[in-house]
Amino acid sequence: MIEFQGVHKWFKKLHVLNNINLLVQPGEVVVVCGPSGSGKSTLIRTINQLEPIDEGKLIVDGMDLSDPKTDINKLRAEVGFVFQQFNLYPHLSVLSNITLAPIKIRQTPRKEAEEQAMALLERVGLAEKKKAYPSQLSGGQQQRVAIARSLAMKPKIMLFDEPTSALDPEMIGEVLAVMKDLAMEGMTMVVVTHEMGFAREVSDRVVFIDHGQILEEASPDEFFINPRQERTKQFLKQVL
Ligand code: ADP
Ligand code: MG
């Protein structure tokens, strides 16, 4: 579903992605972790071309992102992105936040878009908030709406960049629970997170990145019980 082959990226002199090779199979959940500034956000932002790559090959659902003929709008419709900051439209109700893109971009009839939005709100446990505005919701509720909004475009891949980092501790669990359900339903997911409990329980693979390089890639059991690299051990000491 996603294939990085020798991908490099620079910000001026900063070699932010250094020879990334990574394969994500359909239905796989891959957690990306690593120190602050190691290139995690840049890495997942390349997958929907929020950041272009400079060298190598990146193929997402059969689309070659280095090919100028690749349709970025099609790519973005297939790849949902959930950010640390929820980025809901503040002047729109919860329901309208979710129906906006399906109506405007997919030309879904309003009634159908609203029915789908209600089904998604049920799924994230927020059906009763359909008329609320984002400012009337807690951070955890806003993030669950943001996930529902992404799902409304029927993506094949969901990317999460530290989706719980801006939340109060008591709200982290409700967002992780929604993400876990999504994983169980077979969504292909790449998740940047420091929530090592989630990584252990939900992910198929953990990738540790430092200074723009993948230093370790392992099953969660291997990664947590028997990390091979010294830097991984140090990192785990800090986050566990
Ligand atoms: P992480 O998500 O792991 O904290 P990032 O991918 O955000 O790391 O950033 C990796 C490095 O690239 C950092 O040193 C950061 O300052 C730098 N960086 C990120 N975005 C830009 C940008 N748009 N321009 C220049 N440097 C950037
Ligand atoms: Mg980041």
CA 17 – ligand 2 centroid, Å: 13
CA 37 – ligand 1 centroid, Å: 6
Q: Which amino acid is located at 135 in the chain? A: S
What is the rounded average pLDDT for all residues in the chain?
96
The residue whose CA has the least distance to atom 13 of ligand 1 is 37
In the sheet that holds 63-64, the strands lie side by side as 14-24, 2-11, 55-60, 63-64
Q: Which amino acid is located at 115 in the chain? A: E
Give the closest ligand to the alpha carbon of residue 166. Answer: 2
The residue whose CA has the least distance to atom 27 of ligand 1 is 11
Give the closest ligand to the alpha carbon of residue 161. Answer: 2
The residue whose CA has the least distance to atom 18 of ligand 1 is 11
Ligand 1 atom index nearest CA of 161: 2
The 10s digit of each residue's pLDDT in 146-177 is 999 999 999 999 999 999 999 999 999 999 99
Is the predicted ipTM greater than 0.90, yes or no? yes
Ligand 1 atom index nearest CA of 39: 6
CA 41 – ligand 2 centroid, Å: 4
Q: What is the pLDDT of residue 86?
A: 87
Q: What is the pLDDT of residue 102?
A: 96
Band the pLDDT of 12: cuts 50, 70, 90.
very high
Across 114-140, b (16+ Cβ under 10 Å) vs e yields bebbbebbebbebeebbebbbeebebb
Give the H or E element holding residue 29.
strand 29-33
Q: What is the pLDDT of residue 23?
A: 98
**CB-ligand 1 contact for 40 (6 Å cutoff):** yes
Band the pLDDT of 240: cuts 50, 70, 90.
confident
Q: What is the pLDDT of residue 236?
A: 93
Q: What is the pLDDT of residue 179?
A: 98
3-class secondary structure, 28: coil
Q: What is the pLDDT of residue 44?
A: 98
